[in-house]
Structure 1
Amino acid sequence: MSALILHGYWRSGTSYRTRIALGLKGLSYQQKALDLRRGEQHSPDYLKLNPQGLVPTLETEDGILMQSVAILEWLEEKYPDPPLLPRVAADRAVVRAMCGIIACDIHPINNLRILKALRHDLGASQDQVNTWIARWISEGFTALEAMVARYGKGFAFGDAPTLADCHLVPQVYSAERFNVDLSPFPTIRAAVEKARILQAFEQADPKYQPDAY
């Protein structure tokens, strides 16, 4: 059995970015799927692992880790080769800013529990939900497009995958899923297309996960 156990959901963006990072680091791991639509993340056994009842959770020899941003930083520190952060401090700050735009400003207000609240608590129609999603993705991607154009050399930053690509590819997947217009973001689309052909990104794709449906 693998020393790493990833609890996640096939279509979760945070689980997706964690799978990418694990793949880029060349790490084997066991997957334990939670069906978020059935509420399995709120089971008593899972809440003992992750009191938030969110995914992903990574079981490691160092302990139980939660929150994908923290997990990716742990992977970078624990398994530094190949590096997913640049060597120069200012460059690392740029990559972390790219990650932050997605992890802090786009994804949290478009995740499943927020969309459920919009539909069930506020009575939003699917068209209204789609408008909500497109608004926040497009706003964040406008900033990212400028940053990728400035700092990218094929990938989101530089000429090799970084943590920024781990975040960006799943967010583009989400945008495509909800039919967000990506034509204003050609540099982002090019970086994602380049990343997607790499084995780590392809194997992490939601459609290839054992719990996909």
Structure 2
Amino acid sequence: MKLHNYFRSSASYRVRIALAVKGLAYDYLAVHLVKGEQKAPAHAAISPDRLVPVLEVDGEFLTQSMAIIEYLDEQHPTPPLLPADALGRAQVRALAQMVACEMHPPTNLRVLKYLVNELAQDEEHKTAWYHHWCRSGLEAFERQLQVLAESRARRGLAPSVFCYGDSLTLADCCLLPQIYNAQRFNVPLEGLPLTMAAFEAALQTPAAQQAHPSACPDVQA
């Protein structure tokens, strides 16, 4: 397998975590987003949306991090990134989608560059935009974790160590990159006890450390 990705890309980071959880080897192919390498003909030929990550498997090119992770989970089911039961899978997917579909889109690099370049917003306004969408999303995530904690208690289940249960799931694959970027942009993270506890627990796992941007070959200060 080959992973076309960028060390700081949240979506790429998600897939790297999943690959590390599964213990899967892959070739790391860097695509520098800030330099616009995703728009080069070679990358555009394998990624119609001109984004990362792209996972190359047996001559096929898979795009979109959530689809890639679920592909990996189906092809390499142990250890699983989704619970065995339908309710658990729906709850984990909901958490993951709160990040991937709600928080991440308005705060990704393309949007921030558009704010600055096309809409002539200065750094102060760009930062305020990022803080608003990231913080409000994390507050919603915290509320959802509280709902799930209450649900687990009603069903006699132990409190979650990570976002859901006692092992990394698709939700953690999404939360880790989101908090990493929130910290980069100095988003206030107080008042999120369940979210930050799940993040800290996940961050200590070997898979998270292996996939961390600081461990990537294309890392830059």
Tell me the distance in 2 between the aligned counterparts of 1:200 and 1:88.
24
Q: Quote the residue 1:156 is aligned against.
A: 163
Task: State yes or no: 1:45 paired with 2:42.
Answer: yes
* Unmatched segments (≥5 aa) in structure 1: none
Could you tell me which of 30, 35, 59 is aligned with 2:32?
35
Task: State yes or no: 1:116 paired with 2:123.
Answer: no
Q: Quote the residue 1:67 is aligned against.
A: 64
Q: Quote the residue 2:6 is aligned against.
A: 9
Task: State yes or no: 1:206 paired with 2:203.
Answer: no
Tell me the distance in 2 between the aligned counterparts of 1:178 and 1:78.
36
Tell me the distance in 2 between the aligned counterparts of 1:75 and 1:157.
19
Q: Secondary structure at the match of 1:145?
A: helix
Task: State yes or no: 1:197 paired with 2:215.
Answer: no
Q: Secondary structure at the match of 2:165?
A: coil
Return structure 1 stretches of 4+ with deviation > 3 angstroms. Answer: none
State the Cα deviation string for residues 152-184 of structure 1 (Å, max 9, x = none). Answer: 611001111100000000000010000000002
- Aligned partner of 1:165: which letter? D
- Aligned partner of 2:121: which letter? A
Give how far 1:139 is off: 1.4
State the Cα deviation string for residues 2-33 of structure 1 (Å, max 9, x = none). Answer: xx100000000000010000000110111000
Tell me the distance in 2 between the aligned counterparts of 1:46 and 1:37.
14
Correspondence 1:52-131 to 2 at 5 A: 52-61=49-58, 63-131=60-128
Indicate the percent of aligned positions where both proteins have the same amino acid: 44
Give how far 1:148 is off: 2.2
Give how far 1:61 is off: 2.1
Tell me the distance in 2 between the aligned counterparts of 1:193 and 1:62.
37
Give the TM-score, by structure 2 length. Answer: 0.92
RMSD of the alignment, in Å? Answer: 1.0
Tell me the distance in 1 between the aligned counterparts of 2:167 and 2:219.
29
Count residues with an aligned counterpart: 210
Q: Secondary structure at the match of 1:183?
A: coil
- Aligned partner of 1:72: which letter? I
- Aligned partner of 2:136: which letter? E
Tell me the distance in 2 between the aligned counterparts of 1:126 and 1:178.
11
